[in-house]
Amino acid sequence: MDNISSASQSSPILQMKGIAKRFGTFYALQDVDLSVYCGEIHALMGENGAGKSTLMKILAGAYTSSSGDILIDGNTFPITSPKDAIKAGITLIYQEIHLSANLTVAENIFLGREIKNMFGLDLKTMAEESQKVLNRLGAQFSSTQKVSSLTIAEQQQVEIARALHRNSRILVMDEPTAALSSRETERLFELIKKLRSEGMAIIYISHRMAEIYELADRVSVLRDGKYVGSLTRENLNSATLVQMMVGRPLTDLFNKEKVSIGKEVLRVEKLSDGNKVQDVSLTIHAGEIIGLSGLVGAGRSELAHLLFGVKSAIKGKIYLENNEINFNSPRDAITHRIALLPENRKEEGLFLDLNILKNITMVTMERDATMLVINQSKGKQITQTAIDGLKMRVPSENVNVSGLSGGNQQKVLLSRWAAIEPKLFIMDEPTRGVDVGAKSEIYRMMIEMAKRGVAILMISSELPEIVGMSDRVYIMREGYTVGELKDKDINQERIMALACGAE
């Protein structure tokens, strides 16, 4: 890959100087600098909540900075609205796609800049012009197709096509691979490299180290709303990056401690749902972190749903502290102090239109109420303890969770279930979509809960996480538990061999 030595000899196309953003008394950004060159892929990294998205929203005109300057081609260019950003040649492609699904690709590309003739919209010309841009990108779909018929990867191409049609020179991509398959990710990387070769300046936000190594010419790091520094490609290494992001060396990400194992909390005997779960048996004791591994479709999440009362088993038995249980609903499970952190936090866990306090106290309001009156002070105490304990960088407990970073959203959800003081905590992909700093905080929380005697069932697709955090590991394949590993036998090779049926 070419480095930026040639680009760095010229002036940057973009300079952000001394950028600050304040929400009330809370500073999301303080005195942040960023310079980006034409023909450069500039990665922007930092923990969730470090200020990356806030900085880019200022660049895109969604937010107005409290202080600081933006320069385009060396000239001050105030950006106070999205229209200003478009005039400056800046396009931000958000993690959540922003297209009108009921319109065609061409109509989306020309949205707000439609071509008209004496009969109204000139759909033919718009389609032809859009198709030229799509052909340039190598798109495999037509400009006349409805956006609703496209995959997420193809919708991203529409957003990029719209940026090119606007003659954008600075393209910001925020976690663009989050919803893509590996093949779609490869195609996106090819397209990004092509755009770089054509001279476009690309700001790429990601928490995935492999993507940064694959694409970045330069990396800038934010921490706690402040600019930490930048690394060129030749100086890029994970140890330095992690230390810049979290403010300390992360020689041992997991820091797993030995915890004394207590009495049996959960015993499952030949549990089946008649579909995805078949004759599953396992045990979990107080203070144990049990890993549940397997390939996608092995039945891990379906097992979690059976244990939490989301669905009912057709066969088998579940024992909680040696008492057989039959839950008819998640409410029954919660009453017995069983918690489930779901795989999909946005669809199955969070109330996105409610604030942090209401999300965290959702399952404890009834418990803490006196004479049917909600105990507001208790709720605030629980929430503030969670914010402080998990180091959430938020202005207050009244912020809606929809505006939080992925890592902070996961911390909110973890805090909700920790508040019921669970006997058994089922965690389905507890660190999916969060950065390395947030992972470290979540692992620390898990260890502290284990010390207090909580039994934890951790479902994870990340083998290093399974190996690093588990006291024992059960492996599922095609609905069955096909192996149990402990102590020195817990390693990635054995887990994968059992998951694939190689042993």
Write the DSSP symbol of residue 79.
-
| Structural domain for 121, as ranges | 5-246
Above 80 in pLDDT, residue 370? no
User: Is residue 113 within 8 Å of residue 121, measured between CB atoms?
Assistant: no
105 assigned to some structural domain: yes
Q: Can you give the pLDDT at residue 139?
A: 86
Q: Go through the chain and tell me how many residues it has.
A: 503
Answer yes or no: do 268 and 378 share one domain.
Answer: no
How far is Cα 89 from Cα 156, in angstroms, rounded to an integer? Answer: 18
Q: Can you give the pLDDT at residue 34?
A: 96
Residue 179: closest CA among 347, 412, 400: 347
Q: Can you give the pLDDT at residue 231?
A: 93
251 assigned to some structural domain: no
How far is Cα 97 from Cα 153, in angstroms, rounded to an integer? Answer: 10
pTM for this entry:
0.61
How far is Cα 248 from Cα 314, in angstroms, rounded to an integer? Answer: 50
Answer yes or no: do 333 and 308 share one domain.
Answer: yes
Q: Can you give the pLDDT at residue 378?
A: 74
Q: Can you give the pLDDT at residue 97?
A: 78
- Best-predicted range by mean pLDDT (9-13, 27-31, 246-250, 289-293): 289-293
User: What CATH number does residue 463 fall under?
Assistant: 3.40.50.300
Above 70 in pLDDT, residue 9? no
pLDDT, tens digit (0-9, with 9 covering 90-100), for 23-49: 877 788 999 999 999 999 999 988 766
Instruction: Give all strands (DSSP E) within 137-242, no chain letters.
Output: 170-174, 201-205, 218-223, 226-232
Instruction: Give all strands (DSSP E) within 24-152, no chain letters.
Output: 26-36, 41-45, 67-72, 75-76, 90-93, 116-117, 120-121
Q: Residue 382 to residues 9, 39, 165, 430, 445: CA-CA distances in angstroms?
A: 54, 49, 50, 21, 15
Q: Can you give the pLDDT at residue 8?
A: 42
Answer yes or no: do 168 and 43 share one domain.
Answer: yes
Domain-terminating residue out of 374, 389, 420: 420
Answer yes or no: do 124 and 147 share one domain.
Answer: yes
Answer yes or no: do 191 and 239 share one domain.
Answer: yes
Answer yes or no: do 44 and 125 share one domain.
Answer: yes
Mean of the pLDDT values across residues 356-382? 72
What's the burial of 197, exposed, middle or buried (CB within 10 Å: 0-12/13-18/19+)?
exposed
Answer yes or no: do 456 and 331 share one domain.
Answer: yes
Answer yes or no: do 172 and 84 share one domain.
Answer: yes
Above 80 in pLDDT, residue 250? no
Answer yes or no: do 133 and 197 share one domain.
Answer: yes
464 assigned to some structural domain: yes
pLDDT band at 137 (very low <50, low <70, confident <90, very high): confident
Answer yes or no: do 287 and 415 share one domain.
Answer: no
pLDDT band at 476 (very low <50, low <70, confident <90, very high): very high
414 assigned to some structural domain: yes
Above 50 in pLDDT, residue 80? yes
Domain-terminating residue out of 197, 219, 246: 246
Q: Can you give the pLDDT at residue 5?
A: 38
How far is Cα 17 from Cα 76, in angstroms, rounded to an integer? Answer: 10
Answer yes or no: do 473 and 400 share one domain.
Answer: no
User: Is residue 205 within 8 Å of residue 56, measured between CB atoms?
Assistant: yes
